[in-house]
Chain A
Amino acid sequence: NAGVMQNPRHLVRRRGQEARLRCSPMKGHSHVYWYRQLPEEGLKFMVYLQKENIIDESGMPKERFSAEFPKEGPSILRIQQVVRGDSAAYFCASSPARNSYNEQFFGPGTRLTVL
């Protein structure tokens, strides 16, 4: 059973460009969470999605950031008009619909560098 997959693993963008980060949850998982880790800082929750629905986006910046988890395909975290402060590691986690232990399984992350 493959784990959570994220791609690309490393992404370089110039200021003003768009960044698209992809997350494929574990097989059978319908819940996806995105977290961001700025350099030398802790992990911060961004958004929680179920298939085709955003459940909690309380950690998402109000502008330039969006997330989706379509019925088919991976979850996408999209950052428009990137700035240097967006440089960070972005981690995706997934969990099954019935999650009696409330465990989240994390992917390897995408490291975004904004030049």
Chain B
Amino acid sequence: DAKTTQPTSMDCAEGRAANLPCNHSTISGNEYVYWYRQIHSQGPQYIIHGLKNNETNEMASLIITEDRKSSTLILPHATLRDTAVYYCIVRVVNRDDKIIFGKGTRLHILP
């Protein structure tokens, strides 16, 4: 799986949009971008994934650049409960194998 680069930590005010960047310049054509998060002391939680088109679900939006070398996870209206470590991962879909977690971004939502 390709490596990703994320900022170590970020702050965001409650109620504002949280934009979490991720660089994956060596991504392959058959690799998707996945986002997971881990709230303190809990198991990781799947958020969203995409290949090249922008994606949106009830939790977040994923914006992938046209060259696919970077992406941004957007939490539109951050709440205190969104404080967590966010992991950006690139993986081949339709292949059952391990997730390789990096260090992620520690997002602090400020009241």
A43 near B44 with CB under 8 A, answer: yes
Once A42-B104, A102-B91 are accepted as A-B contacts, the answer to whether A109 and B43 lie under 8 Å apart by CB is yes
Tell me, yes or no, whether A31 is within 8 Å of chain B by CB.
Answer: yes
Tell me, yes or no, whether A104 is within 8 Å of chain B by CB.
Answer: yes
Tell me, yes or no, whether A91 is within 8 Å of chain B by CB.
Answer: yes
Which size class do B's interface residues fall under? 20 to 34
**Complex-state Cα separation, A44 to B41, whole angstroms:** 15
Query: Shortest beta-carbon distance, B92 to chain A, in Å?
Result: 7
Contact among A35, A45, A108 for B42, CB-based, below 8 A? A108
| Cβ–Cβ < 8 Å partners of B92 in chain A | 102
Query: Shortest beta-carbon distance, A39 to chain B, in Å?
Result: 12
7 A-B residue pairs with CB within 8 Å: A4-B43, A45-B99, A45-B100, A56-B98, A93-B99, A105-B46, A106-B45
Which residues of A approach B to under 8 Å, CB–CB?
A: 4, 31, 33, 35, 42-45, 48, 55-56, 58-59, 89, 91, 93, 95, 99-109
A48 near B96 with CB under 8 A, answer: yes
Name which of B32, B42, B43, B104 has the most chain A CB atoms within 10 A of its CB: B43
**Residue of chain A at shortest CB distance from B44:** A106
